[in-house]
Structure 1
Amino acid sequence: MTSRPANRRTVLAAAVAVAASAAAAPVALAADSRSGGATGAAGTGRPGSPGRPGKAETHVDLHTWSSRKDWSAGEAKGTRAEGGARPGIVLATPAGTVEYADPHTGRTATWEYATWTSPRHKSAVPAGEIIASWNAHTPGGTWIRTEVQGTYTDGKDTPWYTLGIWTAGDGDDVPRRTSIDDQTDGKSTVYTDTLSIDDLDTGLRIASYRLRLTLYRAPGGTTPKVWLAGAMASAVPDRFEVPASEPGLGKAVELKVPRYSQEIHKGQYPEYDNGGEAWCSPTSSQMIIEFWGRKPTPEDLAWVNPDYADPQVCHAARYTFDYQYEGCGNWPFNAAYASTYKDMRAVVTRLDTLTQAEEFIAAGIPLITSQSFIKSELDGAGYGTAGHLMTVIGFTKSGDVIANDPASPDNPSVRHVYKRRQFENIWLRTKRKDADGKVKSGTGGVCYVYFPAKISAVQRRVLRKHGVC
C-alpha cells in the first residue's frame, strides 16, 4: 500500500477573496435567559428542548480536566489544586527556576516554574491526531506551556511535544505567544497546534497520552491559574466525501449571533497576519464571545485606532496572534482567548456529522467550524480558500446551514445560507482537490465550542455527550 502524508492543514486560516453574495434578513429571535446568551428560534425548533441525546458514536475522543478532583489526581511539582467556583491549579512553591530566551523578542529572562502532569488517558479511539485545549488566567508577568506525550500502539512513547506557549498579554513582561516548529521523532510531527502520525498507512496510532502544564511567573510574582486542560484525539476516516446526513434537531432554529466582517478590517494592523483579510478565526471567535454577552472593556480597546469600526475584532486578532505561525488561526489560541472572558470556557474538538452540530444549535450553542474548498464547492460563498473559519448559527426548515461567514464585504452581508450537502462535505472531509486538481488535506470536522460556566441542563447534557464538560 502506498504511504500518504498525515492528515494536516497546509494553511490554518488563509486569506480569502471578498464574498459578494447578499444575505437575507434574519428571523426574529427570542432571548433564552437560561443559556447566558441571546438565543431563539424560528418555526418548530426551539433552543433548550432537544430532549436527552444518547451516547455519540464517534471517531473522536475529547477528554478534559477541570474539577478539583481532576486537578488533585494529577502529579504536582510545585503546583496546588484550588477549589471554589472555578477549580484550577496555581503555582504554589516553585519547583525551580529556568531561563527562557524568547525567539521573537530576543529577550532572555529568569522564571520560577511549577508543573502539573495529568494521569494517563487511554483514548477511546487509537488516534492519528491530537489537539490540546487550555483555559487559563495569566496576569502580567506569567505564562504557561502545554505539552503532550503520547504512547504509540507499539508501546513506545513520543517525546514531550510543546503544543503551545501561551499568555493572554503581549507586554514586555512576558514572552510572546507561540507554537513551536521542528518537533518530530520520525513517527509523529507537530504542525503548529496539531500532533499528527506521519504515516497512517503503517497502522501506527497513539493509544494514550498525558498532558503536562508548566506554570511560569517572574520571581516572587503572582501566579497564573489553569482551570481547564484537555485534548481531542481523533481517528477520522480518510475520505474525499462523507456520508450525507438527514436534518434533525436543529431544523428551523437560528441563534441570534452578532455579525462581523473580517473584510472591513483589510489593511488594519498588518503586523497581525497582514490585517483583517486573514482574520476569519478571531472574527468568528468575537462573534460567539459576544453571543454569550461578553465584550472587551473600553480600556482593553484603548489601543485601537478610534476611526476603525468594530475595534473588538482588532483586539481579538492581536490577542490570538501566534508569533511563530505568524497568523491568528491557531485553533487552541483562539479557544484560550475566548476563555479569558468572564466565566467562559472553550475547547477545540471535532464532530462526526452535521446532525451532531444540530444538537448544539438546538440547545442554543453556536459553533465555529473550519473548512477549505474551491469556489465551485460552496454555492453563494463567492470565494475559495485553503482554510477558513465561520460560525454555524442555525439551520433552515429544510436543514440547510445558516452561517455567519466573516469573509463578507460588510457586516449586514455576513449571514449566509449554505446548502447542507455542500457544507457538510467541505467541513467533514479529510482530503480534497484544489483548483489545480492537486490533493490537499481537509480539517475532518474541526470546530471550536465556547460556552459560559452557567448553562442550562439541556446544554450541559449536549456538551457532556460530546466530551466537552
Structure 2
Amino acid sequence: MRPLRLLTAGVAVLAAAAVATPPASATTTHRPDGAPVDHHRWTFPRDFAGGRSDGLLPGPGGLRIGRPAGSVEHTEPELGTTRRYDYGTWTSPVHRPGFDATQLVASWNATTPAGTWLRVELRGDGPTWFTLGRWALGDQDIIRSSVPDQSDDTGYVDVDTFVAAPGRPLRAYQLRVTLFRAAGTRATPTLRTAGAMTSAIPDRFTVAASAPSLGRAVELAVPAYSQNVHIGQYPQYGGGGEAWCSPTSTQMVVEYWGKRPSADDLAWVDPTYADRSVDHAARATYDHDYDGTGNWPFNTAYAASYGLSAHVTRLRSLTELEAHIARGIPVVTSQSFRADELDGAGYGTAGHLMVVVGFTAEGDVIANDPASPDNAAVRHVYKRAQFENIWLRTKRYTASGAVAGGSGGIAYIITR
C-alpha cells in the first residue's frame, strides 16, 4: 500500500514481444483538458555531451566513473559503517517542460555493483539542490532511502515527489546524478538513463470516462502474483506482504518480460515460501526513510536493473493506456478508493498499485490486482468508468467524509 497525498467476447492473449520504444532522450508532452504532463529523459552515452560532467566518462552501456572528481566519507548508522567513496557527477542541461508544473518525479536506470551507489538531485527555479533518492540495488553498502525535511520557498520533497510551492510553479529544472564507488577500487556504477516527469494536474474529484479505442478484447499474458500470499513475511521491509502491492506489481511485469532474480539473488529467501521473487522485489525496493516499498522511482529502478527500460510518468486516460496494451506493454497504475467505488475489488485503500494487463471487448479494464487472496484470484475485470475515475482523480472523499489524495494518473512504464 502507498497512501496517496493531496495534489494541487474472445480474448487475444499476447505474450511479451519486442517493443519499439521512443528515443530515451525524447520529450513526451500531453496537454489534455488543461492537465499537462511532460516526461523527458537523457540516455547515455548519447546525451553525455549535452550536460556537464565532472569525473564521469561515457562508456559501453552508459556513464561510469573515470578519474574521480573527489572523495567523501559516508556514514550508515543502520549498518554501523563509515566508508570513503570516490565520486563523479553529471549535471543535465536545463529542461523546460513548456508549462507551469506543480510536481516532478525523477526516474533513473542504472547498475550498482557491490561497493557502489548513486544519488539523484533536482534543482528547480531556485538555488537549492534537492535530493530525490540515495539508491543502490543492494543494501549491503548503503541503506536505500529517500531524504526527509527538504524545503525552501520554491517547494518541498514528499518522499519521491518534488511539490512546487503555491505561486511558484516549476518552469525549468536540472537533474544531477552522482555516482559513488568505494575509494581505491575500480568498481563503478553505470548510469544508462536519467529523467523526470513534470505535471500540472488540476484538483479534481471526478474524471469522465474515455471512449474505448481497441475495438476488441486484448489480454497480455502477465504472471499473476498475490501480495497476500506473503502476509507476515519479512516485516522489516515495510510491514510484510500485506503492504507489498508495488513490488508485487513490478515483479509481475519484470517476469512478463522474461526476467527474474537468479538463484543466488534468492538465496536469502526462506525456501519454503511461494513466489520468492516477490520477497526479493520487496527487499530491493524498500525505502528506509519512507519505511515502505512504494517509492515509485525505486520500483522502476529495480525493474531496470534487469536490463529493462523503466520510468514513472502520468497518463491522461485509459485510451492512452490502451495504446500501451496494444503494443504489448502492461502498465502498473496507482489508485485509491473506498470499497463502494470499485465493484469487484472487495476492499478500500488509501493507496494501491496493480497491473493493467488488458481490456475487454467493451473497454472494461482487466487487471492483475495483487490485493487478492491467492494467485488464482489475481485476475479482475473492473468497470472502465470506475477504474478511470479512481486512477486519474487527485482528490477523493473517505468513508468518514474527509478529503484525501489521489495519484492523478501515476503509472510505471516498463519495457524491453
Tell me the TM-score normalised to structure 2 length. Answer: 0.93
Q: Residue by residue, what CA displacement relative to the aligned partner does 1:59-92 show, whole Å, maximum 9, x if unpaired?
A: 110000014331221100111112x4x3x11110
Q: Give 2:99's match in structure 1, choosing from 120, 125, 133.
A: 125
Match runs of 1:246-395 below 5 Å: 246-249=211-214, 251-341=216-306, 343-395=307-359
| Pairing 1:141–2:108 present | no
Q: Give 1:163's match in structure 2, choosing from 132, 137, 145.
A: 132
Q: SS in structure 2 opposite 1:122? A: coil
Q: Hey, what's the Cα distance between the residues in 1 that align with 2:235 and 2:120?
A: 28
Say whether the 8 Å CA contact 1:62–1:231 is kept in structure 2.
yes
Q: How big is the shift at 1:9?
A: 3.0
**Alignment identity in percent?**
54
Q: SS in structure 2 opposite 1:326? A: coil
Say whether the 8 Å CA contact 1:250–1:394 is kept in structure 2.
no
Say whether the 8 Å CA contact 1:217–1:223 is kept in structure 2.
yes
Q: SS in structure 2 opposite 1:208? A: coil
Match runs of 1:79-118 below 5 Å: 79-82=56-59, 84=60, 86=61, 88-118=62-92
Q: Residue by residue, what CA displacement relative to the aligned partner does 1:16-41 show, whole Å, maximum 9, x if unpaired?
A: xxxxxxxxxx95625464449xxxxx
Q: Hey, what's the Cα distance between the residues in 1 that align with 2:372 and 2:127?
A: 42
Alpha-carbon distance change, 144 to 403 in structure 1, aligned in 2, over 3 angstroms? same
Say whether the 8 Å CA contact 1:250–1:395 is kept in structure 2.
no
Partner of 1:29: 13
Q: How big is the shift at 1:220?
A: 1.9
Match runs of 1:173-212 below 5 Å: 174-199=141-166, 202=167, 204-212=168-176
Extract unaligned runs of 5+ from structure 2. Answer: 21-27
Alpha-carbon distance change, 175 to 32 in structure 1, aligned in 2, over 3 angstroms? closer
Q: How big is the shift at 1:105?
A: 2.9
Say whether the 8 Å CA contact 1:104–1:323 is kept in structure 2.
no
Alpha-carbon distance change, 429 to 267 in structure 1, aligned in 2, over 3 angstroms? same
Q: How big is the shift at 1:237?
A: 1.6
Q: Give 1:397's match in structure 2, choosing from 341, 361, 369.
A: 361
Q: Hey, what's the Cα distance between the residues in 2 that align with 1:312 and 1:391?
A: 17
Alignment RMSD (CA, Å): 1.9
Extract unaligned runs of 5+ from structure 1. Answer: 1-7, 12-25, 37-53, 152-156, 453-469
Partner of 2:24: none
Q: Hey, what's the Cα distance between the residues in 1 that align with 2:226 and 2:269?
A: 17
Q: Hey, what's the Cα distance between the residues in 2 that align with 1:158 and 1:62?
A: 23
| Pairing 1:444–2:408 present | yes
Alpha-carbon distance change, 299 to 248 in structure 1, aligned in 2, over 3 angstroms? same
Q: Residue by residue, what CA displacement relative to the aligned partner does 1:341-387 show, whole Å, maximum 9, x if unpaired?
A: 1x211000000111100110111100000001111110100001111
Say whether the 8 Å CA contact 2:5–2:406 is kept in structure 1.
no
Partner of 1:78: 55
